[in-house]
Structure 1
């Protein structure tokens, strides 16, 4: 019973400030036994059960960890409305923009090895980016002028390169992105059929095509959500001398034993792949207590993710499980190492999760269905592919907390001071349809109070 109490307390601390004075590394704790989730985090389990019971989602799975104790998994429901398979730690979910931190860490490995520099011009690696131009009237035309400075690796890592994104860009530039197939992502088979008609068929061809289009701002002057991490995948590919997806497999997934993370879901694993949904209607962001406007967006049995993508999308292409993504976060929390496998040096991990924004640039949060970190009244910066808290949030994340989310509702974060981490997996559009970011910390806090 003592071990159960320790587990419940540890996970609940993810939502409180109780571990703020224990940031130093202690002796490695013993692994906790596997126990039924309802006996470990009852309030969090009740929250997940209620979400499923009220038809807000068919299923949900999460992993919460502290220090080197094994993660606590909490789940509820099924992988689809028409499935009898329970959602759990090894269910496969579309993580969309939670791919970005993975791509960013791949680039940081190359920075550590001296094959890339944070402030190195991208044109050193991809010559097509040598003479970039900037829009002068973005709302009305493609008129442009020469860029004031080159795009650097830092700019790609932090969404300050001046690049656009088909999910947020508007006006004439959006039409050009659509015409040239600058569409690095997959939604369902119907949309994919249309996108493949115009999308480049290789990562390098994609990057070269991006370089022909004007920027929305001078590099290093403005934070704007972008395809920067997709272009960075091409940089990693060229600088490492191996295909981008192979680099991820060799340098991150295999060492960390992430055996459920894919750009293409193998046919033999499709039975544990969740269906993706979408909320439709006049305003899909408004409450619908019974979830009656939820429709299938990408059925798992015929998912677009069962087919290889046009190229590996470094910004939004991966499918993963709660167990796998927790291992990625655990590695970062541990300073680049997990279970004897060193992926990067501690100094590299710390740098990657620090504020890397160019001087004078700020990050205020983002929403609108992207799944990214929303503004919460706490000063924030931006690191390698994820947001960074610049100050403690009373009763919440510590200064230095790093994380990002995905367009289908997934959430991931690391608090390096308390040495805690969390991964939450769901699949529906839009990402902000339900207040998971607010409800989960509240439930975890209740678990802590109950145990204490």
Structure 2
């Protein structure tokens, strides 16, 4: 069992079932590899409560922000070709970002701005570029919410949305703070401009095909039938409206169902949150990171590039950079690399982990991490938004680490 205790792994099944029994999650699936060898798989509950359909290994889910590491890999593949450097301003590729403004400290309206330089590619990769999300607190977020600057699957052309975004001021001067943002969506557009391909084409030819990820994309595959999971929320309103979140009665309120989901006809290629896929597909991506760029047919990135991505790129931990936003991870004891969080101090993060483990999650409570020290890859899928509803990720990491005896 590669140093993992079979009896202790059974605790994971009980945990998955408890979340189903308590109507926290409709269902879930979990896959653990160590040393490239499968150690654990289990699926519990339902992918669709309305039709009583089981959550299975080949269930398709919305991975939302687990798209961000894929886009970050795409950008680094182009950087490896010498087509740009990470300190290049994004305005070199998207001229609309040339004459930027930023909100002044303490601004009370969107008009209170001062001149700003264009964010760099590196700042967009690390969420220090001054962009935000509609569900964050703050003036820019409120303006983005009014204009629906969310990069949803049915919001049309990526280039037009990015241009619209560039007409708004930044929330702060680039490099001065950390705020979870649509920066990776902007970088998805940079990938398109530099490569001459759509983001979907680049992902398919350069990442998905080489890794064998046959059921991941911006649209639910036509052959998927009813394998696409329903999305639920414990909130009484919009499942993404964290600023006005209210729980209300039903803990598993349906918000998106196969047969009429925008993910089935998506026309927006969101590099920050647009992909759907299967558990085994994402494990292929996680295993590529664990193997430092190696896929089934060779390297898609060099080991040195993957090492670079999985280092902390902030001056300290996320908490030291004054974040005021939602995030998919703890902020104390956690740094940020290119596409995901990096554990700096498990004790300060108050969550089981190894120094250097690399992870990220999605708004529908999906999660993955790669632990180079333990030679471990873990992918967890469920479909409940928002991901902040329950402390499932910390519990999961404690359970997995509790099963490792050597």
Q: TM-score, normalised by structure 1?
A: 0.80
Deviation at 1:62, TM superposition (A): 1.1
What's the CA shift string for 1:102-155, capped at 9, x where partnerless? 1111111111111121111111111221121111253323222111x3311101
Q: Is the 8 A contact 1:276 1:300 kept in 2?
A: no
Q: How does 1:139-154 map to 2 (within 5 A)?
A: 139-147=108-116, 149-154=117-122
Query: Which residue pairs with 2:151 in the alignment?
Result: 184
Query: Which residue pairs with 1:388 in the alignment?
Result: 342
Q: Is the 8 A contact 2:351 2:398 kept in 1?
A: no
Q: Is the 8 A contact 1:134 1:144 kept in 2?
A: yes
Deviation at 1:242, TM superposition (A): 1.1
Distance in 1 of aligned mates of 2:74 and 2:250: 41
Query: Which residue pairs with 1:335 in the alignment?
Result: 292
Is residue 2:130 matched to residue 1:162?
yes
Q: Which moved more, 1:383-392 or 1:268-277?
A: 383-392
Distance in 2 of aligned mates of 1:68 and 1:57: 28
Is residue 2:274 matched to residue 1:317?
yes
Kindly name which structure, 1 or 2, has the bigger radius of gyration based on alpha carbons: 1
Match of 1:398 among 354, 357, 367: 354
Structure 2: 5+ residue stretches without partners: 238-243
Distance in 2 of aligned mates of 1:346 and 1:248: 20
Is residue 2:176 matched to residue 1:221?
yes
Query: Which residue pairs with 1:298 in the alignment?
Result: 256
Aligned length: 396
Is residue 2:188 matched to residue 1:233?
yes
What's the CA shift string for 1:41-89, capped at 9, x where partnerless? 3111121122222322221001111122136322111211123432122
Query: Which residue pairs with 2:364 in the alignment?
Result: 408
Distance in 2 of aligned mates of 1:71 and 1:364: 34
Q: Is the 8 A contact 1:370 1:406 kept in 2?
A: no
Query: Which residue pairs with 1:96 in the alignment?
Result: 64
Using a 3 Å threshold, how does the CA distance of structure 1 residues 70 and 116 change in structure 2: closer, same or farther?
farther
Q: Which moved more, 1:70-79 or 1:231-240?
A: 70-79
Deviation at 1:292, TM superposition (A): 4.2
Query: Which residue pairs with 1:422 in the alignment?
Result: 378
Distance in 1 of aligned mates of 2:166 and 2:305: 29
What's the CA shift string for 1:322-356, capped at 9, x where partnerless? 11111101001101002233110000111111112
Q: Is the 8 A contact 1:367 1:432 kept in 2?
A: no
Is residue 2:377 matched to residue 1:431?
no
Q: Is the 8 A contact 1:222 1:362 kept in 2?
A: no
Q: How does 1:95-134 map to 2 (within 5 A)?
A: 95-134=63-102
Query: Which residue pairs with 2:24 in the alignment?
Result: 56
Structure 1: 5+ residue stretches without partners: 1-5, 13-37, 187-191
Distance in 1 of aligned mates of 2:401 and 2:169: 47
Query: Which residue pairs with 2:48 in the alignment?
Result: 80
Query: Which residue pairs with 2:203 in the alignment?
Result: 248
Distance in 1 of aligned mates of 2:35 and 2:166: 43
